[in-house]
A and B are shown apart, each in its own frame.
Chain A
Amino acid sequence: MRNFVFIVFFISVAVQAQTKMSAPEAEALKTLVKQQALTTKTISSNFTQYKHLDFLSNDIVSKGKLAFKTPDLVKWVYTEPYNYAVIFKNETLFINDEGKKNQVDIGSNKLFKELNGLIINSIKGDMFDDDAFEITYYKKDKNSQVHFSPKDKKSTKYISDFQITFNKKGDVLEVKMIEPSGDFTKIIFTNKEINIPLADAIFIN
């Protein structure tokens, strides 16, 4: 019985922790995030990535640094547990895999192009495209969380939901990409610095 009470209590707390936003609240968040995205010229941040596969005992954890510069330069550098860097630039992926350099042309690959667009927009938090996504807004503790569920059939084969958590200022704290199977990739950003000068040389492989 005590357990039962505890469970009910826990469920009600869990439900309270995430509630749907009212329309004006959602509108206010959208405006805040869009404003934030507009004034963001560069982002430099540490990140921790959790790859969750249901059949594993633990998530696969990797860590590194992200650099972003408008309009569309993105570099992910993984430093743990391996050295790997990928730069998204002009429809090309520049890869440095433990010193082995490689490039992949994504110009002809629609899926990768979309993915690249999503990555940039999700870093900035600006994904509010009602034509492309079914969007739902939640309050979660002191933060906000927005769920973007792709409408395009080809995308839904790979991703069933993007969930982005924003802090009060409209900065992205966390991005979670959920696959139709339930497996997901979660990226948590820490020590994020906005609009510090980033040289173009950073984005050369």
Chain B
Amino acid sequence: MRFLLISFCFFLVSCGSYPKKKNFQAENSTSKEIENPYLSDSRIDYVYKASIDVYDRNFSGLLIIKKIADKEHRVAFTTEMGNKMFDFTFNENDFRVNFILDELNKKMLINILKKDFKVLITENPIISNSYSHNEIDIYEAAIYNKKHYYFFENYKLTKIINAKNGKENVQFLFLKINNHLANQIEIKHSNIKLTINLKSITQ
């Protein structure tokens, strides 16, 4: 019985929302429109040198992102020597695999990549709630029906957190920001051993 009580309490705590757990202050008066500007200029070919650590293995290559129409992006990955590993199209809620190497053609992997890249390329997420915490403005928005928190420091987007059960599930960090270019982007997963590190070599 006691065990049941403890686990019930634990259940309650673990179900607490992410903003509550982090002591975010709810805000009502903040702006309702936000922008992720980092991969949104259709004139730019965004090229990043990528280093991917998955479990105990490391892969590297080039992540190439291009906005090709108003709500359409291409996201491709090649080795340094030019061999294409995959090539995806995101068009609003549509997602298409143009090419993927047989060895990588696994549903689970494609799903993870799809979700991660969708967060990176979503420009104007629709805000459902806004908060503040230590001078940081935080906006809650849904991507693929999952709650994501956008952190703005001095009006600059510095990170996006996908939270699950009140905990960080995936973190997207935008670093070395210069105008509208994030020279470094880190994607860290907590539930699986996966980190993607991107360094801009945009020419």
Which positions in A face B, CB cutoff 8 Å? 49, 51, 53, 55-58, 60-62, 76, 78, 81-82, 84, 86, 95, 97, 100, 102, 115, 157-158, 177, 179, 181, 183, 185
Cβ contacts A to B, 23 pairs, < 8 Å: A49-B81, A51-B62, A53-B64, A53-B74, A53-B76, A56-B64, A56-B66, A57-B66, A58-B203, A60-B62, A62-B80, A76-B81, A81-B201, A82-B49, A86-B81, A97-B60, A100-B60, A102-B58, A158-B101, A179-B99, A181-B98, A181-B99, A185-B82
Contacts of B87 in A (CB 8 A): 53, 181
CA distance A102 to B87 in the complex (A): 25
Given A55-B74, A56-B66, A60-B45, residue A78 in contact with residue B99 (CB < 8 A): no
Q: A55-B68, A60-B64, A100-B60 are in contact. List 14 more A-B contacts (CB 8 A).
A: A51-B78, A56-B45, A57-B45, A76-B81, A86-B80, A97-B51, A97-B60, A115-B83, A157-B102, A158-B84, A158-B101, A177-B82, A179-B84, A179-B99
CA distance A84 to B81 in the complex (A): 10
B185 in the interface (beta carbon within 8 A):
no
B43 in the interface (beta carbon within 8 A):
yes
Given A60-B203, A97-B51, residue A84 in contact with residue B58 (CB < 8 A): no
Q: Is the CB of B80 within 8 A of A183?
A: no
CA distance A53 to B89 in the complex (A): 13
B47 in the interface (beta carbon within 8 A):
yes
* Among A61, A78, A102, A181, contact of B80 (Cβ-Cβ < 8 Å): A78
Q: Is the CB of A58 within 8 A of B45?
A: yes
CA distance A51 to B47 in the complex (A): 12
Chain B's nearest CB lies how many Å from the CB of A184?
8
Contacts of B98 in A (CB 8 A): 181
Q: Is the CB of B84 within 8 A of A183?
A: yes
Contacts of A115 in B (CB 8 A): 83
Interface 1/0s, chain B 66-104, versus A by CB < 8 A? 101000001010101111100100000000001101100
Contacts of A86 in B (CB 8 A): 80-81
Contacts of B81 in A (CB 8 A): 49, 76, 86, 185
Contacts of A185 in B (CB 8 A): 81-83
Q: Is the CB of B45 within 8 A of A84?
A: no
